[in-house]
A and B are shown apart, each in its own frame.
Chain A
């Protein structure tokens, strides 16, 4: 996990708390993500796992505690926050490709407007990335013309185009038809192999087993258990985790 010798964690959450009104969605979260690590966050719905993921690029603000990314506390707003976000890719459950732009434009927009990469260089890179996720032939189509699985792969290419230090995946396969889940997971497994730092909120236990370095189990806004995938799936330590696993792994 620290092949490059840099042992400072890429992300560190310290005593993070957040409420949605009366609901205490994150309770005293302490968590680190190392460089190159693939961290899978699982847990029942409403456990706060998506909020945790979204807090890491400040799409959700937090009430107290702090989040340190690459040695710096997350900026609160403005240009500094935009710069941070450009270094943290995000893949959403509902893809969120820009509906009025072509696939190619979706991938080049960030590099051109944020990184100020020249248009033709950004185009070439976009085509490489689309090739990598298997969508190059659809580059001039609009998002609505693609299947969900294809859209999500474009969303991954869009995140990769920014050369992020980390990519957050917020339930990337939950909105997909079953037959399209695998094509997205394959791309993600490829990324994990290439050493991308990933935080993945998912219900895909197969992916967790195959690609995760560590599994975090959340319930009621708390991190209940953290372990390697093998240990977690075969020998969960807490009742909450065993109960959750028994419900999802029985069939």
Chain B
């Protein structure tokens, strides 16, 4: 237990970083995921194909590769730099990488939601003269979103846990190193594991309850 107290603050520092990453990932993935699903259901074949290609490539690529690509490919090779501070720079690269990766899952959850909206809703919307885009944003997506709040919650939970592979993008290497040192020097891994698990539980459990409650509250009655 002593080890947890000794090294706790340092690990907590890293954990805070995980939370910040998750917030960036959340915003990026929901915005990009919504754009992707709009592409996937659009009447324009090129957009549909592009959306499908993105989802298929990104969803089937291991996250570690996506994050390594953001750091090594996007930043080092292609020169995408957010800040002079290496720490800040890799934070945004990893955050965006995580968001871009999770967006594929958000897109697919929303697409499942769209399938729950009866065809007649879109027909009625088009029949009063709303355009495709208006129909999507005012009629279809609001109902689709409400239908998949719980699955979206699962996507968010997976994403929060995925922040732990941020080292692949060169972030949180200090925390990871700290953890390794603790294990190597003290041999006391179990308290540390339990402590980290507890921290994630505190963060994630409420999300499950919240999304469950929200999905009941916002359910569209037909």
Contact = CB atoms under 8 A, between A and B. Distances in A.
Interface of A: 57, 59, 77-79, 82-90, 92, 94-100, 109-110, 113-114, 142, 144-145, 155, 158-159, 162
Nearest to B218: A100
Given A84-B129, A85-B129, A99-B222, 17 more contacts: A59-B123, A77-B43, A82-B126, A82-B130, A89-B127, A90-B124, A92-B127, A96-B124, A98-B121, A98-B139, A99-B143, A100-B142, A100-B143, A109-B128, A109-B130, A114-B130, A159-B128
25 contacts: A57-B127, A59-B126, A78-B131, A85-B126, A85-B127, A86-B129, A90-B124, A92-B120, A96-B121, A98-B124, A98-B139, A99-B121, A99-B220, A99-B222, A100-B143, A100-B220, A109-B130, A109-B138, A110-B128, A113-B130, A113-B134, A114-B128, A144-B222, A145-B221, A158-B128
Please provide the 4 A-B residue pairs with the shortest distance between their CB atoms, ordered closest to farther.
Answer: A86-B129, A96-B124, A110-B128, A96-B120
Contacts of B129: 82-87, 110, 114, 162
Contacts of A79: 131
A155 B118 CA distance: 16
Contacts of B121: 96, 98-99
A97 B221 contact: no
A158 B124 CA distance: 10
Given A110-B129, A113-B138, A96 B222 contact: no
Interface of B: 43, 118, 120-121, 123-131, 134, 138-139, 142-143, 146, 220-222
A1 B43 CA distance: 40
A187 B181 CA distance: 79
A86 B131 CA distance: 10
Contacts of A162: 128-129
A144 B221 CA distance: 6
Contacts of B221: 99, 142, 144-145
A9 B134 CA distance: 31
B118 to A, nearest CB: 8
Given A96-B123, A99-B222, A144-B221, A86 B128 contact: yes
A199 to B, nearest CB: 13
B76 to A, nearest CB: 44
A224 B129 CA distance: 32
Contacts of B138: 109, 113
Contacts of B146: 100
A61 B150 CA distance: 37
A77 B42 CA distance: 13
B85 to A, nearest CB: 45
A27 to B, nearest CB: 24
A96 B124 CA distance: 6
Contacts of A78: 131
Contacts of B222: 99, 144
A87 B146 CA distance: 31
B198 to A, nearest CB: 39
A79 B118 CA distance: 24
B123 A92 contact: yes
Contacts of A109: 128, 130, 138
A97 B130 contact: no
A88 B127 CA distance: 8
Contacts of B134: 113
Contacts of A92: 120, 123-124, 127
Given A113-B138, A144-B222, A90 B127 contact: yes
A222 B100 CA distance: 54
A90 B129 CA distance: 11
A178 to B, nearest CB: 22
Which of B125, B128, B130, B221 is packed against the most chain A CB atoms within 10 Å?
B128
Contacts of B120: 92, 94-96
Contacts of A90: 123-124, 127-128
B123 A110 contact: no
